[in-house]
Structure 1
Amino acid sequence: MKLLLVTTLLATGVCAGSSANAQSWPTKPIKIIVNFAPGGAADQLARLIAPPLHEALGQPVLVENKGGAGGNLGADFVAKSPADGYTFLMASGGTVSINPYLYPKMPFDPAKDLVPVASVARVPFYLVVRTDSPVKDFKGLVADLKAHPGQRSFGSPGNGSSPHLAAEMMKSETGTFAVHVPYRGAAPALTDLLGGQINFLFDPGIALQHVKAGKLRMLAVGSPLRAPQVPDVPTLDELGLKGFDADAVFGLYAPAGTPQAVVDRVNTEVNRVLNTAATKDGIVAIGNVPLPLKPVEFGRKGAEDSKRFGKLIRDRGIQAD
């Protein structure tokens, strides 16, 4: 009986201490690690939500890029950071749902070492070519690829990245072949498309400004639904690739063991920020769609994507660099 009483008191004390720590959080700057190069979707989303989160939480919210190894370097840094609510990861869902299929020896276990905190945006992928390309539409792209097997190339933020998988899905369903050129982020891939080093790209939205400026031509959207930014551009599903869905969900993750009260607070604040006009407009402007979800919903989406993309990776024999 005494042992039970002592155990109960200790457990109560731990919970009380955890609650007290959560209530006093935050007392110092918070860091968001982006696991890809500056200029990509994850980087832009992190920098969009950082200022309003600073205002809401009363502490600076700093964004730091740690790209490399398909996002594993930055994710590993966060996974091994103290679970005190001061280090978060901004990443595509691919970090937890795709990378485990690509890397036989991960430096961390996404399922055990990271917890989903807050979804930020659904990221459609836009199929684009240069305006000086002879390809005028999706049908023309397929015809061109079939006429020149292995002579055309496309870029992506890296092997197994969501844009890479989008292109592999398209190739698989159209029976075409093009050379994959991996980069260390979406921005460098876009730069080379604009420069003529590659022929097409599934872009996460940062190319929209170049489409509007007349430098790029958009052929299709790799989503189940048309994108609100370009309502006149058809989806690949509409163009014959039935069920085509390459969307990714980007959001915040934290080291496992981060107090649940902190996770819930960040989720609440992020969802509130996503419902403000300024943030909504900012996310739409970079080609994304705001997607507020609860942590459990965010985690469930990652699990669903893991099954879907895992099959594609196995079927296509895709491997990490």
Structure 2
Amino acid sequence: MQQSFINKIGMALAFSLCLCQAANAQDWPDRTIRLIVPFPTGGATDIVARVIANQAAVELGQSIIVDNKTGAGGTIGAAEAVRSKPDGYTLLLSTNSTQAIAPHLYTNLSYQPNEDLTPIAHLGDAASVLLVNPNVPVNSLQELVEYAKENGDELNYASSGTGTIVHLNTELFMHQTGATMSHVPYRGTGQAIADMISGNVHVLIDAIPSGLPYIRSGQLKALATTGQHRNGLTPNLPTFIEAGLPEYESLAWFGLYAPKGVNPDILNKVYDAFQKSIQNPEVRKQLEALGVEPPRSTNTQEFIELVEHDSARWKDVIVQANVPTQ
């Protein structure tokens, strides 16, 4: 008799909890949503986040504020998202760096990307461009490969920091071609580009919009882009694949995540709003101007598989290049 009464109480509590969760999901969102961006204000990820979030806020009928939590390759912001209450009011706009690279680079990472964060949507991809100082006597990718093999001691390449995708893109290039160059890490690529123009460094693989003004002015030479097909901002530039490296492809991706445990109905609302945002013609136009193309994956499961593939790939590059863990 007593056990039966306890069972009934337990069932009643479970039923009440389900009703509460359903009500919460139905009412969500009823206040401002925070979108954590784990990179600095004004950077590519920040700009992309704001463009997409502005329209997603319209779709949801609530404000979305972008909160930049920077440092440690984006892992500080990601960890902040993991610690947040799983109620749908904190989201994370993440990239390869925090989800696919950081687990293999940081030995004391405070979160597990694939366990502590729930993937929601793949929002877009961005190719990079291979830039060289005009004084380097090459005019094609293959010429750079040959020149680097013969003059590797004289060549160096810049990055936005050890272990960043800018660094690993060049390590991947050297691994596939046998070219050798010395690494010069910077805190971001702004100073790196300035030093390239002055001739202090020779090679950089960076986001297309970052290099575009200097390509057009002739201050830097562009040899190839890293995408699967030619980019709309640089239609006359071949891809690495077209230029003779059939296995070279690298895209920075932007993805939306939530802390583990958010109500699935809320996640569906978030997914729908952000999908409508990236499909909005005006948003699409703004993203294309930033070199961001539509996402390769068409649903959450495909996005999960893409991240898993990306993670395995960058792990191999980090090991092969002996990139120091931190």
Same fold by TM-score, threshold 0.5 exceeded? yes
Aligned to 2:317, which of 303, 312, 320? 312
The amino acid across from 1:55 in the alignment is V
C-alpha RMSD of the superposition: 2.2
Q: From the superposition, tell whether residues 269 and 139 of structure 1 become closer, same or farther in structure 2 (CA, over 3 Å).
A: same
Is 1:299 matched up with 2:298? no
Q: From the superposition, tell whether residues 11 and 182 of structure 1 become closer, same or farther in structure 2 (CA, over 3 Å).
A: farther
Alignment partners' CA distance in 2, 1:121 and 1:142: 30
Show the counterpart of 2:183: 180
Q: Percent identity?
A: 33
Q: In 1, are the aligned partners of 2:133 and 2:201 still within 8 Å (CA)?
A: no
Alignment partners' CA distance in 2, 1:265 and 1:74: 23
Alignment partners' CA distance in 1, 2:49 and 2:274: 11
Shift of residue 114 of structure 1? 0.9
Q: From the superposition, tell whether residues 219 and 43 of structure 1 become closer, same or farther in structure 2 (CA, over 3 Å).
A: same
Q: In 2, are the aligned partners of 1:129 and 1:201 still within 8 Å (CA)?
A: yes
Show the counterpart of 1:259: 263
Is 1:271 matched up with 2:275? yes
Is 1:85 matched up with 2:100? no
Show the counterpart of 1:216: 220
Q: From the superposition, tell whether residues 184 and 56 of structure 1 become closer, same or farther in structure 2 (CA, over 3 Å).
A: farther
Show the counterpart of 1:100: 103
Alignment partners' CA distance in 2, 1:116 and 1:189: 33
Size of the alignment, in residue pairs? 321
Show the counterpart of 1:25: 28
Alignment partners' CA distance in 2, 1:37 and 1:187: 13
Show the counterpart of 2:230: 226
Is 1:138 matched up with 2:149? no
TM-score (norm 1): 0.90
Q: In 2, are the aligned partners of 1:30 and 1:62 still within 8 Å (CA)?
A: yes
Q: From the superposition, tell whether residues 157 and 31 of structure 1 become closer, same or farther in structure 2 (CA, over 3 Å).
A: farther
Shift of residue 289 of structure 1? 0.4
Q: In 2, are the aligned partners of 1:128 and 1:202 still within 8 Å (CA)?
A: yes
Cα displacement string for residues 179-199 of structure 1 (whole angstroms, at most 9, x for unaligned residues): 223334455544544454432
Q: In 2, are the aligned partners of 1:40 and 1:187 still within 8 Å (CA)?
A: no
The amino acid across from 2:159 in the alignment is S
Alignment partners' CA distance in 1, 2:188 and 2:263: 32
SS state of the match for residue 237, structure 1?
Answer: coil
Show the counterpart of 1:288: 292
Show the counterpart of 1:162: 165
Q: From the superposition, tell whether residues 320 and 20 of structure 1 become closer, same or farther in structure 2 (CA, over 3 Å).
A: same
TM-score (norm 2): 0.89
Alignment partners' CA distance in 2, 1:224 and 1:93: 17
SS state of the match for residue 125, structure 1?
Answer: strand
Q: From the superposition, tell whether residues 277 and 30 of structure 1 become closer, same or farther in structure 2 (CA, over 3 Å).
A: same
SS state of the match for residue 154, structure 2?
Answer: coil
Alignment partners' CA distance in 2, 1:187 and 1:118: 30
The amino acid across from 2:237 in the alignment is V
Show the counterpart of 2:252: 248
Q: In 2, are the aligned partners of 1:76 and 1:108 still within 8 Å (CA)?
A: yes
Alignment partners' CA distance in 1, 2:241 and 2:52: 32
Q: From the superposition, tell whether residues 136 and 279 of structure 1 become closer, same or farther in structure 2 (CA, over 3 Å).
A: same
Q: In 2, are the aligned partners of 1:36 and 1:184 still within 8 Å (CA)?
A: no
Unaligned runs of 5+ in 1: none
Q: Greater CA radius of gyration, 1 or 2?
A: 2
Q: In 2, are the aligned partners of 1:45 and 1:120 still within 8 Å (CA)?
A: no
Q: From the superposition, tell whether residues 217 and 4 of structure 1 become closer, same or farther in structure 2 (CA, over 3 Å).
A: farther
Show the counterpart of 1:151: 154
Unaligned runs of 5+ in 2: none
SS state of the match for residue 98, structure 1?
Answer: helix
